[in-house]
Amino acid sequence: MSDINKKGIWNTSIFHELYGMNITQNIISPYNYDLYSYIPSTTINSCINPYLIKHSDFELGEKMRIILKIQYEELDSSNTSGTFKMWFQGAKKNPDGSNVWTGGNDVTGALNNYQNLTDVVLSQEQGSFIYNTTFIISENNYNTYTGCNIGIRSDYSNGIGKITMYKPIIFPDKYYYLETDSIIRQGDDFLSCEEIVEY
């Protein structure tokens, strides 16, 4: 309890309260955008990678849940230079900070397996979708790399449509349950408190 000071705030790197109702591991670092929007170019390999997961912030073999909202508008397959495609893509991070793009990573693989992103953004002129799935970083990736990115790649967009990624919520899956269709809460094992006052 040495981290608690009189009339102070107990800061911990393990848990923090997010959006007032979820306790999530603080593993989205150093990129911490609340949302990130971009208009993909008309060429191939148009990318954004706004979020980074640090492998050291959770235990190897622990099942993690990711909840990620995307919003899209005016994306279509009208580019005559090639067939439009969009999917989640992210590098693995070497200890020196460099990116390794071969083989993808476990998080983006889980997102792509949950729902095809091309199908989502072409389903209507504008809309939003919530990815809600789980992942486990494989032993080789956990032990070899320091982390991995969450991003999006597209080929042959129309140059007009926009896609937005909202900051993902990531936490141990054992604390997840769906209270209603619109409310997600953590389990009852933890207490979140912004201030402890000593009298």
Q: What confidence tier does 108 reach under pLDDT thresholds 50, 70, 90?
A: very high
CA dihedral 169, 179, 126, 38 (to 10 degrees): -10
pLDDT above 80: residue 94: yes
Which residue, chain included where needed, has tokens 């899209």?
72
* Predicted pLDDT of residue 198: 54
Separation CA 66–CA 54 (nearest Å): 14
* Predicted pLDDT of residue 181: 52
Q: What confidence tier does 173 reach under pLDDT thresholds 50, 70, 90?
A: confident
CA angle 51–118–84, rounded 5-degree value: 105
CB 22 within 8 A of CB 99: no
Separation CA 111–CA 169 (nearest Å): 13
Query: With respect to CATH, is domain 28-186 assigned 1.10.3470?
Result: no
* Predicted pLDDT of residue 196: 52
Q: What confidence tier does 7 reach under pLDDT thresholds 50, 70, 90?
A: very low
Share of the chain above pLDDT 90, in %: 54
CA angle 154–157–163, rounded 5-degree value: 65
pLDDT above 90: residue 18: no
Residue type present at position 138: S
* Predicted pLDDT of residue 185: 52
pLDDT above 50: residue 29: no
* Predicted pLDDT of residue 59: 86
* Predicted pLDDT of residue 26: 41
> What's the average model confidence in pLDDT over 57-67?
88
The length of the chain in residues reads 199
pLDDT above 60: residue 197: no
pLDDT above 80: residue 45: yes
CB 131 within 8 A of CB 70: yes
CB 76 within 8 A of CB 84: yes
Separation CA 37–CA 73 (nearest Å): 11
For residue 28, give the DSSP letter.
B
* Predicted pLDDT of residue 25: 37
Contacts with 188 (C-beta within 8 Å, 6 or more apart), sequence order: none
> What's the average model confidence in pLDDT over 144-167?
95
Burial per residue of 68-97, b for 16 or more beta-carbon CB atoms within 10 angstroms, e otherwise: bbbbbbebeeeeeeeebebebbbbbbeeee
Rg (the chain; Cα; Å)? 19
